[in-house]
Amino acid sequence: MTNTWTDLTASAPFPHPAGGFAYGVINNKLYIAGGRDAANMIINLTWIYDPATNAYA
């Protein structure tokens, strides 16, 4: 770690607009799970963002 701030431009936008999701970091990857969409419907998906590749899996 260099203890500096770097602005990132995502290679792709967040895969699905969501609110109320859970998230956590494991092995330097951000896991984003669940939430609700704009119509307040439950989302049962999980996304993984890898800052090393600047992409979602």
Residue 33 in any domain: the answer is yes
The domain total for the chain is 1
Residue 15 in any domain: the answer is no
Report the pLDDT value the prediction gives residue 35, as an integer from 0 to 100: 94
Structural domain that includes position 45: 22-56
Residue 46 in any domain: the answer is yes
Alpha-carbon distance values, 1 to 4, 28, 31, 38 (Å): 8, 12, 20, 37
Q: 10-56 pLDDT, tens per residue?
A: 666 677 788 999 999 999 999 999 999 999 999 999 999 998 888 88
Residue 14 in any domain: the answer is no
Report the pLDDT value the prediction gives residue 5, as an integer from 0 to 100: 83
Whether 37 contacts 18, CB under 8 Å: yes
Report the pLDDT value the prediction gives residue 37, as an integer from 0 to 100: 92
Residues 46 and 44: their CA atoms lie apart, in Å, by: 7
Q: What's the whole-model pTM score?
A: 0.72
Q: 45-55 pLDDT, tens per residue?
A: 999 999 888 88
Nearest to 22 by CA among 35, 12, 11, 10: 35
